[in-house]
Structure 1
């Protein structure tokens, strides 16, 4: 399926996590804030590049981008609207909340490197189970920038112990979509006490021979919105990404 075909389905109302969709095409997190907060958010991303690798930024009020030729208000499978840090709506279309001063950030997404993991025989459990990737707030604090600060959010994929080195090597070649893991092993070191209760997404099976591996996650800006409480922000529903017009190979570092 092409990105255009996927976006048409989402525009028509289909809601689904996008892991495994449009093999070969990069996916991105969306966060939109008023122009008056856009510089602080850009600085937050620059200071925290692991969870917030910026792929594109729109002009105020723009509803598409060079990386995304669809409509950013309608062509994702789900959105969350925040007012003063509180989620006030989870919707399939944010046209009614749109403002002409909103600046959209497209942030790299780890779904982009999952095809490379699968090609190498590394399992991607949430795709196997047909659920959303599990995501967790951690005890690591991001470097603050102006109005924005908050915790690092991570995604987790259980990896067979014998394949952890392969998973690290493969994903390290994709620094623009979070790159290598930020932690391997005991989740308690990240302040995560129960893998079965993610803050976002769905729990997945972790088998006896597997080790939990954690990657920085592009939901981190939404955690910063919740912690910092700007007047308005719009983000993708976690796991329900913007499917871009960029090939995933664009983000491989040789």
Structure 2
């Protein structure tokens, strides 16, 4: 299977499950909503749910599993969260200790899975509007940065917002802002435009997650809330174990991205 041309979300998930695909998912399975993953012991699920509700820009909820159930049928009839993302990050006591391509050996009967919206989902709208998405053109992961914007805490969960950055010509930036604002489940409108130092980013060439960005002369930098934000909250909460997607390596669901 050509890993660059998945026609459906199911095809991409099956490739992950079979060990045939483990790369970033930006620009793949066009038209399907992509999701950030957070898996926690059930004792922390209520606090994390409140964290998401209090911070809907970085953590819009697409789905929540039953306790101990690796399936999320509302997001995909055959979906199995243990295998169906390209890469996972494993946290122990708040520290990222490993990156793996499946979590079967780590699965526990008390796990609850949260799937949160992703800005990769609105990239379909940009591409269909002939707006260049620089990191996709360059074959790179999107650049992501921790900011000085604090999220609203819930229980042990707190910390700074992470943002993803895309650069555009001024005209395309306006169009990208309008298109993304129609997709709140994919983080909606950006949280900042222009000078990165105003949100605590000192060097755009050195993102905290993802790859260095491609910025053309005259480009406007646009910053969207990012679903990696809960990974900073996990560092603050220090649960005995937590599992997330590796940044940029999303779960692709069967939910369609509706284009305005």
TM-score using structure 1 length:
0.97
CA distance in 1, matches of 2:28, 2:130: 18
Gaps of 5+ in 1: none
Match of 1:176 in 2: 185
CA distance in 2, matches of 1:227, 1:203: 26
Match of 2:104 in 1: 95
Match of 1:185 in 2: 194
Match of 1:206 in 2: 215
Report SS of the residue matched to 1:107: strand
Match of 1:49 in 2: 56
TM-score using structure 2 length:
0.94
Give the 5 Å matches for 1:118-133.
Answer: 118-133=127-142
Match of 2:14 in 1: 8
Deviation beyond 3 Å, 4+ runs, structure 1: none
| Deviation digits for residues 147-186 of structure 1 (CA, Å, limit 9, x no counterpart) | 1001100000001112221111100000111000000000
Matched positions, count:
251
CA distance in 2, matches of 1:237, 1:62: 21
Match of 1:28 in 2: 35
1:226 deviates by 1.3
- Contact kept in structure 2, 1:136 and 1:200, CA below 8 Å: yes
- Contact kept in structure 2, 1:129 and 1:204, CA below 8 Å: no
Gaps of 5+ in 2: 1-6
Out of 74-83 and 120-129, give the one that drifted further. Answer: 120-129
- Contact kept in structure 2, 1:150 and 1:228, CA below 8 Å: no
Q: CA RMSD in A?
A: 1.0
- Contact kept in structure 2, 1:84 and 1:229, CA below 8 Å: yes
